[in-house]
């Protein structure tokens, strides 16, 4: 199984360095010298990390295969992935977005939507799903509101606080106007 760890941004300088949007919780381990990364939507299939350094809050990577700014420019927008084991390392409650996408959202035994994204935020992760009417719903991704995730059955069971699924709906705004 592949796991996306970064997205390449713009070139930095003239020696082939690029900025990257980090999408991993462990950049120090993922971007060490000699680490081979799989390139998706890029001009090459793999890249080998030559150097990784932080410039304030931006990670800069250089690769053995990329020597100048023109080559670096061809990588813009490419995704960097690694190969990981399908077996979970432990029984933690941690989930990757790709494990949750397209799971049915169930409330009281009825499907109320489908997972479309996982938004990771500094304070709280949000589970994003589209309800049966096409509205986008954001639900705090905590055990209290998401007590069960069963990827084999293709479902996520939710217990949202009262009113969350109808918050900001057209019906609510009409009631406020009256």
The bridge status of strand 110-119 relative to strand 36-40 is: unpaired
Comparing C-alpha atoms, which of 38, 152, 35, 165 is closest to residue 107? Answer: 165
CA 106 and chain centroid, separation? 22
- Please count the other Cβ atoms lying within 10 Å of the Cβ belonging to residue 20: 22
Residue 87 near residue 34, CB atoms below 8 Å? no
At 24-81, the pLDDT tens digits run 888 888 999 999 999 999 999 999 999 999 998 899 999 999 999 999 999 999 999 9
At 9-19, the pLDDT tens digits run 999 999 999 99
CATH 3.40.50.2000 applies to domain 2-83 = no
Is residue 174 very low, low, confident or very high in pLDDT (cuts 50, 70, 90)? Answer: very low
pTM over 0.85: no
At 133-161, the pLDDT tens digits run 888 999 999 999 999 999 999 999 999 98
Residue 77 in tokens: 């927008």
pLDDT (0 to 100) of residue 88 = 52
Architecture field, domain 98-162:
Roll (2.30)
pLDDT (0 to 100) of residue 169 = 58
pLDDT (0 to 100) of residue 1 = 78
Query: Does 83 have pLDDT greater than 60?
Result: yes
| Dihedral of alpha carbons 78, 80, 86, 87, sign | negative
pLDDT (0 to 100) of residue 172 = 45
The residue ranges of every structural domain in the chain are: 2-83, 98-162
Residue 22 near residue 56, CB atoms below 8 Å? no
pLDDT (0 to 100) of residue 171 = 52
């Amino acid at each position: 199984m592949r796991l996306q760890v970064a997205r390449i941004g713009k070139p930095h300088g003239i020696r082939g360095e690029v900025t990257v949007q980090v999408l991993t919780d462990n950049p120090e381990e993922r971007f060490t010298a000699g680490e081979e990364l799989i390139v998706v939507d890029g001009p090459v299939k793999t890249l080998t990390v030559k150097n990784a350094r932080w410039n304030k809050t931006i990670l800069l990577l250089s690769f053995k295969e990329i020597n100048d700014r023109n080559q670096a420019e061809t990588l813009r927008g490419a995704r960097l992935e690694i190969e990981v084991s399908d077996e979970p390392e432990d029984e933690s409650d941690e989930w990757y977005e790709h494990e949750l996408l397209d799971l049915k959202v169930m409330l009281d035994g009825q499907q109320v939507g489908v997972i479309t994204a996982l938004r990771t935020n500094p304070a709280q992760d949000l589970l994003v799903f589209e309800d049966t009417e096409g509205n986008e719903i954001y639900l705090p991704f905590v055990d209290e509101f998401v007590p069960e995730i069963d990827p084999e059955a293709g479902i996520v069971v939710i217990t949202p606080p009262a009113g969350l699924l109808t918050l900001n709906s057209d019906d609510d705004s009409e009631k406020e106007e009256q």
